[in-house]
């Protein structure tokens, strides 16, 4: 979703020293062909001796995710002898700023989005990483410069991205496609042709829902962001996010209208265009599973299977494909997504060593093998992914020529979590795209 929905209360966990780690490593070093143990062995051989040092880490992960990050950090403990304390909080964004300003920040903070990292970096509350770190990410991450740029502020790299999410996905039921003789399109031109073919055959191509309680409208912002990456250079996206070009720039208006191509056509959307704004996004994919199908496709992020009918198996009952780019525009294979980024909020040798540890494939593969993590690290063994579905999503990340973070999460809250959302509801309801975009820009101007 637009923002992580976290539950629970603040929690802390202690990963003790080497003896604890040896007894509690999730996977035994050297075993399993899916793991790149050579990367871990190399790290161990060169790791500093941090016996007696405590490395504190704070982040948003609670529940199962807390257990998963701890299972990864255990290998860092084993390699260095450091004690690692991880504290998870459902109010991380507020707490990390309070702690940093009070001089009690953890050594390392895991930011759910780069905007807060950037704000704190500019306030001198985060230590910059090195030029060598930036060069490493550019060389070893797919679309690596994209990841460097996302965590670079005032010319310096401040964050290391670790766990990614993919939004550029279209979900479908293979059996429905097979029965109708449809094939997965590889280009946006082909996707539009398929959309028209489904209508010609008497079906409805898309299920789209923008409802989300107080956050109603956010699914449309993802559509617009994806379409902008497919119709304009990545620099345009960056300028838009920074408000260096206005919201009513013709290129932004065109991206909004690209969303409207699908969402404002009664023949294209289950329930007709009028239903788009009022259908809850959690209910919108249900039409894929009805008989006969109410729709054939649903564009949504990698989290959406949580709202599929109980017992639905991804890869069998339902599958996905990459939301394709225009062949004619030659803009590569851009991917829209999100991700968590590690930053050093209280510098120490252990904090630097932990960032270096995250460069090892094994630091990613341990979580990959348990499910729930996608990575752009090009050195990982994709066989470590827990199943074919996550492996395919991971491959989409690795095939990306450009990666961009969810724009609305990078914009000021009054825009990205306000005027942009409501503007898209107005547009879905029939308002003119240029007028809607102009209204959003007026709101942005008023924030200055």
Q: Model confidence over 131-181: pLDDT tens digits?
A: 999 999 999 999 999 999 999 999 999 999 999 999 999 999 999 999 999
Instruction: Specify the pLDDT at position 185.
Output: 98
Lowest mean pLDDT among 4-8, 145-149, 212-216, 389-393: 4-8
- The class level of CATH for 11-166+336-405 reads alpha beta
Asked if residue 18 has pLDDT above 80, the reply is no
Q: Tens of pLDDT along 363-421?
A: 999 999 999 999 999 999 999 999 999 999 999 999 999 999 999 999 999 999 999 99
Q: Tens of pLDDT along 190-204?
A: 999 999 999 999 999
Instruction: Specify the pLDDT at position 448.
Output: 75
Asked if residue 9 has pLDDT above 60, the reply is no
Asked if residue 248 has pLDDT above 90, the reply is yes
Asked if residue 8 has pLDDT above 90, the reply is no
Rounded to an integer, the average pLDDT of 307-317 is: 96
Instruction: Specify the pLDDT at position 113.
Output: 87
Asked if residue 4 has pLDDT above 90, the reply is no
- Give 17 or 104, the one with higher predicted confidence: 104
Asked if residue 6 has pLDDT above 50, the reply is no
**pLDDT over 90 percentage in the chain:** 94
Instruction: Specify the pLDDT at position 24.
Output: 79
The domains of the chain are located at 11-166+336-405, 169-334+408-447
Fold of 169-334+408-447: D-Maltodextrin-Binding Protein; domain 2 (3.40.190)
Asked if residue 40 has pLDDT above 60, the reply is yes
Instruction: Specify the pLDDT at position 15.
Output: 39
Q: Which of 37, 296, 325, 285 is nearest to 188 (CA)?
A: 325
Note the Cα 289 to chain centre separation in Å. Answer: 26
Instruction: Specify the pLDDT at position 11.
Output: 32
**pLDDT over 70 percentage in the chain:** 95
Lowest mean pLDDT among 16-20, 419-423, 441-445: 16-20
pLDDT band (50, 70, 90) for residue 23: low
Asked if residue 20 has pLDDT above 60, the reply is no
Domains 11-166+336-405 and 169-334+408-447 alike in fold: yes
């Amino acid at each position: 979703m637009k923002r992580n929905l976290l539950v629970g209360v603040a929690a802390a966990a202690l990963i003790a020293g080497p003896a604890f780690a040896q007894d509690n490593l999730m996977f035994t070093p050297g075993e399993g062909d899916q793991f790149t143990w050579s990367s871990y062995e190399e790290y161990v051989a060169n790791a500093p001796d941090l016996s007696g040092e405590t490395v504190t880490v704070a982040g948003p992960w609670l529940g199962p995710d807390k257990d998963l990050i701890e299972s990864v950090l255990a290998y860092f403990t084993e390699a260095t002898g450091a004690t690692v304390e991880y504290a998870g909080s459902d109010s991380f964004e507020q707490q990390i700023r309070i702690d940093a300003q009070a001089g009690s920040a953890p050594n390392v903070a895991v930011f759910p989005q780069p905007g807060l990292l950037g704000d704190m970096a500019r306030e001198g509350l985060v230590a910059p990483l090195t030029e060598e770190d930036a060069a490493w990410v550019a060389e070893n991450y797919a679309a690596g410069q994209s990841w460097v740029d996302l965590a670079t502020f005032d010319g310096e790299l401040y964050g290391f991205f670790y766990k990614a999410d993919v939004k550029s996905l279209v979900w479908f039921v293979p059996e429905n496609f097979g029965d109708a003789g449809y094939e997965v399109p590889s280009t946006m031109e082909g996707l539009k042709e398929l959309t028209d073919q489904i209508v010609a055959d008497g079906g409805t191509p898309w299920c789209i829902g923008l409802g989300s309680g107080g956050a109603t409208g956010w699914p449309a912002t993802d559509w617009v962001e994806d379409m902008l990456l497919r119709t304009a250079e990545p620099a345009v996206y960056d300028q838009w996010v920074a408000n260096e070009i206005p919201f009513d720039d013709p290129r932004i208006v065109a991206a909004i209208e690209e969303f409207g191509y699908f969402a404002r056509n009664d023949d294209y959307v289950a329930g007709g265009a009028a239903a788009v704004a009022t259908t809850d996004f959690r209910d919108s994919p249900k039409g894929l599973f009805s008989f006969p199908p109410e729709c054939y496709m649903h564009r949504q992020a990698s989290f959406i299977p949580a709202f599929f009918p109980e017992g639905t198996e991804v890869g069998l009952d339902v599958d996905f494909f990459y939301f394709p780019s225009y062949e004619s525009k030659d803009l590569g294979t851009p991917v829209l997504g999100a991700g968590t980024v590690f930053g050093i909020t209280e510098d120490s040798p252990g904090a630097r060593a932990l960032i270096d540890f995250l460069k090892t494939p094994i630091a990613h593969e341990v979580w990959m093998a348990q499910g729930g993590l996608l990575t752009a690290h090009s050195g990982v063994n994709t066989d470590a992914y827990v199943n074919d579905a996550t492996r395919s999503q991971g491959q989409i990340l690795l095939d990306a020529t450009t990666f961009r973070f969810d724009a609305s999460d990078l914009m000021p809250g009054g825009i990205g979590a306000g005027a942009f959302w409501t503007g898209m509801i107005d547009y879905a309801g029939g308002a003119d795209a240029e007028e809607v975009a102009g209204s959003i820009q007026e709101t942005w101007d008023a924030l200055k």
